[in-house]
Amino acid sequence: MHTYTNAELAGIFQTIADLLEIKGENIYKILAYRRAAESLNNLAENVNDVAQRGELQAIPGVGKAIADKISELIDTGRLQFLDNLSEEVPLSLVELLRVPDLGPKKAALFWKKAGITSLPELEEAARRGKLRELPGVGEKSEARILAGIEALAHRTTRIPLGRAYPLGKQLVEWLRSQPGIASAELAGSLRRMRETIGDIDLVAATENPQRIMAAFIEHPLVEKVYAQGVTKTSVELRGGIPAQLWLHPPAEFGTALQYATGSKEHSVRLREIAQDQGFSLSDRSLLFPDGKEVFLGTEAEVYAAVGLPWIPPEIREDRGEIQAAKKGQLPDLVEPGDILAELHTHSTWSDGQASIREMAVAARERGYKVLAITDHSASLGIAGGMTAEDLRRRKVEIDQVQAEMGDTLQLLQGAEVEILADGRLDYPDDVLAGLDIVIASLHTGLRQGREAATRRVVSAIQNPHVDILGHPTGRLIPEREGADLDMEAVFSAARQSGTALELNANPARLDLSDVYARRAKELGIPLSVNTDAHAPDQYSLLFYGVATARRAWLEPQDILNCWEPGQLRAWLRARGEKRA
């Protein structure tokens, strides 16, 4: 029996999809593996538990063939299908796909026409000017490939939030289940919900640290132990993720948790305030000049000791939160329960994995009042984009589901419309006018120059039919940088047109970033926090979007999805009247 993380299994199926595409396999077979990988990445529950219950086929996008492969991996630690496939297509070719804008077709070309099967071979060929001799590859393409290879060397080794958080949560839940543990929490950048983290920090309170540390290093997720002590142990988890556990007596838990959460800059400010008041603040206690030591078991007590209200971890970045706390002006940060609408989803009419009815039932069960079905437009062929005729046929189905939902959930007929290379939209204005909500997004041509890319996005924002700019930069964390946009120009256009900007909750995107989302708030631009769900279980990704919104200091009134349905409908209706 072998234990895999969801991310590890997703990576295996993503590799299979890449190898199949390089091989030139049927596109539907490739998409089946990509959808399975996406579902596994976004699965809230540990896949091993699902397998033990015999419910793998209940995972969206996982049919019998893929379920059998997951079972084979868990049972044997190997997959014969992948072994056979890697004999046909060199496994090292997948490494080439890490180069920005180098897709499977180019990788296949380099392999079949030039015998290139690894990144070092690709770099050598590019430096010697050999790539430009291949069909469809010119000097500019060769130069971009070289630049992409060089960029890889500087790419962050930080871990995406969506990969780290489920592991951290699993370890915290394990700690809380251990006898003798009074409290346990995530700490560090993971507790602050940064989009990438360096390691997983854990803090727990116990009077029996030796036993807990001994049990921790034996945890199934722990692969290596770097250092073990009574107070702190550092390890490497499966997948190469570093983690560290701090143990303190319960009386010291408040100061220990605050210290370990950071950020460093935020904590320095707190310690300066403490010093101004005549005592020092450490991870252990408050220490007064006369030697008196005061232990604080909760963070609220730590902040109260320096005369401040408790500050939410997501905004502890020394970006004005200390000053706001002193003035009693901390924001009333958005909570997941404030979200009443999901305005960006996909169904089987494009690349979604569930019917409109299935998406609607799941949305209603989450307590949503409004659901927009926004399948892809026609030009995004790989996503099964819809023609104008498809939109008309889909409306019939939406109306049928709406009749079933009654007043419990309002469905919006929408589309995620591709922004073409010249800034035009993928549907003509008369088609866009017939939709309840329009999201305009970039998926291709992300390597355009700054001026051209900005002009393209601004043109879309200025189109009177566009309500929301979806995942504005188009980035994928950590694989793909977003478009190089002049964000101030984008903000200016959105402010003038009243177009909302999306904060895409998928942890592979989190686009807008927290910094840009806060800037949008400052300018009075409405924001929309959406999951971009392609299956009902992906609604749970809202957690990451709300966390990023909290880092951006967003309050419910800043976010379209938090508005009461009547207010949201009025906003959409007013935009419709403007373009009529």
Please spell the DSSP secondary structure of 276-319, one letter per residue.
HTT-EE-SS-EE-TTS-EE--SSHHHHHHHTT-----GGG-SSS
| Spatial distance between the Cα atoms of 221 and 223, rounded to a whole number of angstroms | 6
Host domain of residue 367:
336-579
- For residue 529, what is the enclosing H or E element? strand 527-530
Give the C-alpha separation, 174 to 23, whole Å: 43
With b for 16 or more beta-carbon neighbours within 10 A and e for fewer, the 539-549 pattern comes to bbbbbbbbbbb
Answer whether residue 309 shows pLDDT above 90: yes
Give the pLDDT band (50/70/90) at residue 566: very high
Residue finishing a domain among 122, 154, 186: 154
pLDDT of 579 above 70: no
If asked whether residues 111 and 205 sit together in one domain, one would say no
Q: Say whether both 277 and 310 belong to one domain.
A: yes
- The three-class DSSP label of residue 373 is strand
Report the C-alpha gap between 196 and 22 in whole angstroms. Answer: 30
Answer whether residue 457 is part of any domain: yes
Confidence of residue 419 (pLDDT cuts 50, 70, 90): very high
pLDDT digits (tens, 9 = 90+) for 135-149: 888 888 788 788 778
Domain count, the chain: 3
Residue 1 lies in a domain: no
What per-residue confidence (pLDDT) applies to 186?
A: 98
Residue 344 near residue 372, CB atoms below 8 Å: yes
Give the whole-number percent of the chain exceeding pLDDT 70.
97
Same domain, 446 and 308: no
Does residue 478 sit in the same domain as residue 522?
yes
Same domain, 446 and 371: yes
Q: Are residues 407 and 550 in the same domain?
A: yes
Domain boundary among 154, 171, 192: 154
* Same-domain check for residues 179 and 147: no
In a domain, 287, yes or no: yes
**CATH number for the domain that contains residue 263:** 3.30.460.10
What are the tens digits of pLDDT across the range 376-398? 998 876 667 889 999 999 999 99
Q: How many CB atoms lie within 10 A of CB 223?
A: 13
In this structure, is residue 291 part of a structural domain?
Answer: yes
Distance in angstroms (rounded) separating the CA atoms of residues 501 and 512:
8
pLDDT in tens, 54-75: 888 888 778 899 999 999 998 8
**Is residue 313 one of the residues assigned to a domain?**
yes
Residue 67, SS3? helix
**Beta strand extents in 171-275 (DSSP E only):** 181-187, 196-197, 200-206, 222-228, 232-237, 241-248
In a domain, 377, yes or no: yes
Structure tokens at 99: 């180069």
* Sheet (strand 181-187) strand order: 181-187, 200-206, 241-248, 232-237, 222-228
Mean of the per-residue pLDDT values of the chain: 91
> Has this prediction a pTM greater than 0.85?
no
How far apart, in whole angstroms, are the C-alpha atoms of residue 112 and residue 547?
Answer: 45
C-alpha 570/C-alpha 576 separation (Å) is 10
Do 506 and 405 lie in one domain? The reply is yes
| Residue-level pLDDT at 469 | 98
CATH of the domain at 367: 3.20.20.140
pLDDT value of residue 313: 98
Residue 209 lies in a domain: yes
- Whether the predicted pLDDT of 489 surpasses 80: yes
Query: Environment class of residue 399 by beta-carbon count within 10 Å: exposed (0-12), middle (13-18) or buried (19+)?
Result: exposed
Give the mean pLDDT of 448-455: 91
The residue among 102 and 485 whose pLDDT is bigger is: 485
Per-residue model confidence as pLDDT tens digits over 255-278: 999 999 999 999 999 999 999 999
pLDDT at 301: 97
Task: For residues 437 and 540, state if they share a domain.
Answer: yes
For 18-27, 33-42, 559-568, which range has the lowest pLDDT when averaged over its residues? 33-42
Tell me the mean pLDDT in the region 503-521: 95
If asked whether residues 475 and 347 sit together in one domain, one would say yes
pLDDT of residue 155: 58
How do residues 462-484 score in pLDDT, each as one tens digit? Answer: 999 999 999 999 998 887 888 88
CATH number for 121: 1.10.150.110
Q: How far is CA 155 from CA 15, 51, 295, 445, 480, in A?
A: 20, 35, 42, 21, 10
**Is 281 in the same domain as 385?**
no
CB 561 within 8 A of CB 340: yes
Using pLDDT thresholds of 50, 70 and 90, give the confidence band for residue 249.
Answer: very high
The per-residue pLDDT for 578 is 66
Binned at pLDDT 50, 70 and 90, residue 171 comes out as very high
| pLDDT on residue 528 | 98
Same domain as 412, residue 374: yes
* C-alpha span between 471 and 475 (Å, rounded): 8
Q: Which residues is 504 bridged to in the sheet?
A: 511, 530
Domain assignment of residue 232, yes or no: yes
Last residue of a domain, one of 288, 307, 326: 326
Q: How far is 467 from 225, CA to CA, in rounded Å? A: 51
Question: pLDDT band for position 95 (50/70/90)?
Answer: confident
